[in-house]
Structure 1
Amino acid sequence: MNYQKYRPYKKIKKANRRWPDNEITKAPIWCSVDLRDGNQALETPMNLEQKINFFNYLVKLGFKEIEVGFPAASDTEYTFTRTLIDNKMIPKDVTIQVLTQLRSHILERTFASLEGVHKAIVHLYNSVSTIQRDVVFRKSKEEIKALAVDGARQAKKLAKKYGEERFIFEYSPESFPGAEVDYVVEVCNAVLDELKPTSENKVIINLPNTVELCTANVFADLVEYICDHLKYRENVIVSLHSHNDRGTGIAASELGLMAGADRIEGTLFGNGERTGNMDIVNFALNLLTQGVDPQLDFSNMDEMIKVYEESTKMSIHPRHPYAGKLVFTAFSGSHQDAINKGMTHMEKEKLNYWDVPYLPIDPKDVGRNYDAIIRINSQSGKGGVSYILKTHYDLQLPKAMQQDFGPIITQISDQGNKELTPTEIYQAFINEYVDIESPLQLINYVEQVDDDHQSAVRANFIFEGKKVAIAGHGNGVIDAFCKGLSDLVGQKIDIASYNEHALENGSTSKAITYIQIHTEQGTYSYGSGISPSVTRSSLQAIVSATNRVLKKAVVMQ
């Protein structure tokens, strides 16, 4: 790869930078540019009905500033702007924004499209980058600055014609990181001198990272430098409009906000030209995870994705931050184990804050449930399998049994080359451990307690196709049953561990018992039983565990 054909970005020399020590403690002013930047990047732009629906949805999400288009660019954009105004579709607390170049006829049509609006931002822009000045426009620095100032002057005159109290001005030195930073300040200040911002009528200076050219920290240096050298700073709203060419649009915007910016322009899920615009959903939810109110309602992620995909015909990547179908899902065994323990700890300790490994945000805060947090395939482990069984079926497998069952699930998934559903995992558990009736099937049993408080058990079985009976005495029903069963199978059976719990609440609930047996040959085996009777479930669990030992012995022979 010919890396020598590229030149590194020349960062500015900046002493005493302050932004690295700053924190974001409140949400910026948000402006959605989905209906302009987002729409112009679509293979098939939205029609009028789609635009209206999308606008209404942006209002529902809580956006107070929405760029609706470039009305002088096409009849479609003009009609959309007029439709919103004429049909009084813009809430009083929402300000629409329109984009315009600095040419007389374009400015005139832009203001005509806004006639009667209660409030609008008129977004003026021209490129100031060296490559655009020298190659595209073939104009000097003074000529480019004059273009910006003349455009601002014309816009101000037109505002008076249509009611200057209705308009807020925004100026963008397009592609500003590609220009000399002192020159960017010079142009912005010249525009501000023309517009004369006041505390009642502030001006927005928007810094568009039109093409990402530098790392996010260098971008923050540029923003801080410009903020420090702008005139009328107290009456200027500094805005950022980041693209994502380097994949750091969000980082640049976050650091730029720390560096002094007040406002952020972006799109839902980052739709935009080339690699896209800054993703407002991602940025806003980043704030949420730091305990900052994002001032936007993204609590129904699935609805937002549906509206977005239907409107844009774009799709959300399954690994898209916060929004993708798989972002809250763990397949890895170690991740699943950590999540399982974290969720259990949250519930047990009744924590009033979110702290779960591998999950920086509670899925419920974006309208997702916990069903898909852990999904099982051949990469999964005991913790994930245990979580699925507990969450979906209230099975609380002992730790040693989890270790026993995990490799079984891994093998099933590996052989089938597929992800296993909760139903398939549950059925595998039943098949492997519960009420195993071959070669030994428990028919019935009778228990008695003698005068010495010893238990006596008689039980009938079918063993290898024949009816047989056992009798045993012991310190309890289970001990007596194991002694009688040991005589039948020809090897001593002891209980290594015992756990049981109810599966449902109420007097009619069933009990499940998990029993691990130990034979004199040194074999350990788990079995489980389910019954309304705890005793029956326990004895059936012993039979199931014994059957697993007997089957393995046959296989080994």
Structure 2
Amino acid sequence: MLKQPQTKYRAFPPVQLEGRRWPDAQLTKAPVWLSTDLRDGNQALIEPMDAARKLRMFDLLVQVGFKEIEVGFPASSQTEFDFVRKLIEEGRIPDDVTIQVMTPAREELIERTVQALAGARRAIVHVYNAVAPVWRRVVFGLEVPQVMELIARHVGQVRRLTDAQPQTEWILQYSPETFSLAELEVSHQACETAITAWGAGRPIILNLPTTVENATPNVFADQIEWMVRQFADRPEVVLSVHPHNDRGTGVAAAELAMMAGAHRVEGCLFGNGERTGNLDLVNVALNLYTQGVDPQLDFSDIDAVRRTVEHCNHLPVHPRHPYVGELVYTSFSGSHQDAIKKAFAARREGDVWEIPYLPIDPKDLGRSYEAVIRVNSQSGKGGMSYLLESEYGLAMPRRLQIEFSQVVQRVMDRDGKELTAADLWQLFRHEYGLDARNVIQHRVWEAAAGDDGQRRVQLSANIDWQGAPCTVQGQGNGPIDAFASALSAAVGCPVRVIDYQQHAIGEGADARAMAYVELRLGDSPAFFGVGTDSDTSAAAMQALISGLHRAHAAGWATESAPEDAQCAVVVA
């Protein structure tokens, strides 16, 4: 790269536009959409679509809701010509859909193009020619008056040929190609020349393309507002834009152009097109949707749309592509996951959508929440707990989330790969011994009230401790307190329940209790235990045994406990 790029490149000059209004405009309705997937998008493919793929793409565009579709360049090949004829002759074009075809400003190509449209109910003939200085000077060797003469001649030819087929409702679309690089006065003169040749008062679309992005989007918005002012009192004129994405700002250019007064937008699904692509119509439409504007296009099954486009184009959609990519609703970052989890927990049905890091509800596009949070080495407790709650119904206490997240992090540091919800569930079951039924049998009966007059219960339980049977007995205010007392006697030190929580998983006959117990053995650190059973008391007892097993595995509550430990296991 050059150290002084100004010696080779020049900044595009700003537009001298007094009182510009577009910066304060707000988009409140959808534009007229034109899909160019079957023409501009198809031309950009390494392997252009065959008839079957083109037909599948056309059907998709109709299904999504496009009312104007550019179906091809019929003068370019027999394949393109035959496809247009197939749509017309087989009656595949719905009554509310208008097809468009494109032709350069050349006599023989215009004639062939109009022939392809014979019998169509309604059709748009798109004629274009380049008007920018470098094209006039270098490519065609024409002066401005010669360019205008060419426009008048070829648009006049389109009018004569289409007037000869009055059974079709004809609309002309004229594009001063390379508009974004041309002098505004020349582009305006070209459009006026086309209007005159087509016939004043007849419907006409003036399509203003950023054939090559050459400036920041605000400059394009100024160009569009300048043109809008020239045709403000011409109801027969529809101003259309056709942004490309050379600077990566095609979507921004389209949105600012709409704010500047453009009525119509051309582009492709997911931005296919020459070089860096055409405008991504899905992106613009869903940007409107997230602002509360109905885009008049239906992407409620966006994955099905993507699969069809990938099949037809033989090109993959990037996993980070806005709205549709595999990873665009996924957070790996722990802080992001925590914010998303809390917002989902706080949200109530009917609330305005306000979820951190998710500008749109994935369910509106047919996506599930399954992939919203995924766990890797960058994740935290929020992501892990969200997956276990959403997929397996676990509502873990916060301190348990912290404890188990450390277990998950050790596995991530060791293996260095993403953990799925199923992986996390398997790890959770293993860590807290959910596959072992620790309470074999228990019995609870009334005991005499204590000195404080509180009700007491007596409990006896047969448990399995480190592979050996053990009978424990205890007394307390309830079954859980009595079981903790029994375990205290068994291990020779107080088993103190710091926190106990329980909830149901499932409904009806399949419902099970999930119990979480946080306990200490003497002066040990806190350990969590988890238990599950159809009986709520049994679930709590299993959680206590689970905590004891984990304390034992950590070196507490054993014959070889740390020297300062206050208790050791007693197996009966």
Give the corresponding residue for 2:426.
427
- Stretches of structure 1 lacking an aligned partner (at least 5 in a row): none
Give the corresponding residue for 2:565.
none
- The answer on 1:50 being equivalent to 2:53 is yes
Q: Counterpart of 1:323 in structure 2: which amino acid?
A: V
Number of matched pairs: 551
| RMSD (Å), alpha carbons | 1.9
2:37 touches 2:267 (CA, 8 Å); kept in 1? Answer: yes
1:512 touches 1:531 (CA, 8 Å); kept in 2? Answer: yes
- The answer on 1:495 being equivalent to 2:497 is yes
Q: Counterpart of 2:487 in structure 1: which amino acid?
A: L
* SS class of match (1:234): coil
- The answer on 1:166 being equivalent to 2:163 is no
Give the corresponding residue for 2:37.
34
* SS class of match (2:473): strand
Deviation string, structure 1 residues 389-440 (Cα, Å, up to 9, x no partner):
11111111111111111121122233222111222211111111244869xx
- By how many angstroms is 1:166 displaced? 2.1
For residues 178 and 286 of structure 1, what CA distance do their matches in structure 2 show? Answer: 27
* SS class of match (2:110): helix
Give the corresponding residue for 1:220.
221
- By how many angstroms is 1:524 displaced? 0.5
Q: 1:345-360 to 2 correspondence within 5 Å? A: 345-346=346-347, 349-360=348-359
Q: Counterpart of 1:404 in structure 2: which amino acid?
A: E
* SS class of match (2:164): helix
- The answer on 1:144 being equivalent to 2:147 is yes
1:377 touches 1:414 (CA, 8 Å); kept in 2? Answer: no
Q: 1:35-114 to 2 correspondence within 5 Å? A: 35-114=38-117
Q: Percent identity?
A: 44
Q: 1:278-427 to 2 correspondence within 5 Å? A: 278-346=279-347, 349-427=348-426
Give the corresponding residue for 2:539.
537
Query: Scaled by the length of structure 1, what TM-score is found?
Result: 0.95
Q: Counterpart of 1:126 in structure 2: which amino acid?
A: N
CA shift in 2, pair 1:48/1:507, >3 Å: closer
For residues 373 and 219 of structure 2, what CA distance do their matches in structure 1 show? Answer: 39
* SS class of match (1:529): strand
CA shift in 2, pair 1:139/1:231, >3 Å: farther
Partner of residue 448 from structure 2, selected from 448, 451, 456: 451
2:34 touches 2:68 (CA, 8 Å); kept in 1? Answer: yes
* SS class of match (1:99): strand
Deviation string, structure 1 residues 5-55 (Cα, Å, up to 9, x no partner):
211111111121000111111111111111110001011111122212221
For residues 76 and 435 of structure 2, what CA distance do their matches in structure 1 show? Answer: 75
Q: 1:19-30 to 2 correspondence within 5 Å? A: 19-30=22-33
Give the corresponding residue for 1:263.
264
2:119 touches 2:168 (CA, 8 Å); kept in 1? Answer: no
Give the corresponding residue for 2:246.
245
1:282 touches 1:321 (CA, 8 Å); kept in 2? Answer: yes
Q: 1:454-465 to 2 correspondence within 5 Å? A: 454-464=456-466
Q: Counterpart of 2:368 in structure 1: which amino acid?
A: N
2:123 touches 2:168 (CA, 8 Å); kept in 1? Answer: no
For residues 188 and 466 of structure 1, what CA distance do their matches in structure 2 show? Answer: 92
Give the corresponding residue for 2:506.
504
Deviation string, structure 1 residues 84-117 (Cα, Å, up to 9, x no partner):
2222221221111111122222211111111211
* SS class of match (1:218): helix
For residues 200 and 549 of structure 2, what CA distance do their matches in structure 1 show? Answer: 86
For residues 509 and 165 of structure 1, what CA distance do their matches in structure 2 show? Answer: 66
For residues 481 and 336 of structure 1, what CA distance do their matches in structure 2 show? Answer: 37
- By how many angstroms is 1:471 displaced? 2.6
- By how many angstroms is 1:190 displaced? 2.1
For residues 68 and 466 of structure 2, what CA distance do their matches in structure 1 show? Answer: 78
2:439 touches 2:538 (CA, 8 Å); kept in 1? Answer: no
1:269 touches 1:282 (CA, 8 Å); kept in 2? Answer: yes
Deviation string, structure 1 residues 136-169 (Cα, Å, up to 9, x no partner):
1111111112211221122111121222852101
Q: Counterpart of 2:478 in structure 1: which amino acid?
A: G
For residues 508 and 172 of structure 1, what CA distance do their matches in structure 2 show? Answer: 66
Deviation string, structure 1 residues 216-273 (Cα, Å, up to 9, x no partner):
1111000000111237532210000010000110110010011010001111111100
With 484-493 and 221-230 compared, the bigger mean Cα shift is at 484-493
For residues 464 and 409 of structure 1, what CA distance do their matches in structure 2 show? Answer: 25
- By how many angstroms is 1:556 displaced? 7.9
Q: Counterpart of 1:445 in structure 2: which amino acid?
A: H
1:434 touches 1:530 (CA, 8 Å); kept in 2? Answer: no
With 451-460 and 206-215 compared, the bigger mean Cα shift is at 451-460
For residues 406 and 295 of structure 1, what CA distance do their matches in structure 2 show? Answer: 44
CA shift in 2, pair 1:48/1:473, >3 Å: closer
For residues 158 and 432 of structure 1, what CA distance do their matches in structure 2 show? Answer: 79
For residues 52 and 431 of structure 1, what CA distance do their matches in structure 2 show? Answer: 53
For residues 455 and 476 of structure 1, what CA distance do their matches in structure 2 show? Answer: 6
* SS class of match (2:554): helix
Deviation string, structure 1 residues 178-216 (Cα, Å, up to 9, x no partner):
111122112212222222342xx3210000110000111
For residues 262 and 542 of structure 2, what CA distance do their matches in structure 1 show? Answer: 69
For residues 526 and 516 of structure 1, what CA distance do their matches in structure 2 show? Answer: 4
Q: Counterpart of 1:43 in structure 2: which amino acid?
A: I
* SS class of match (1:63): coil
Partner of residue 137 from structure 2, selected from 134, 156, 173: 134
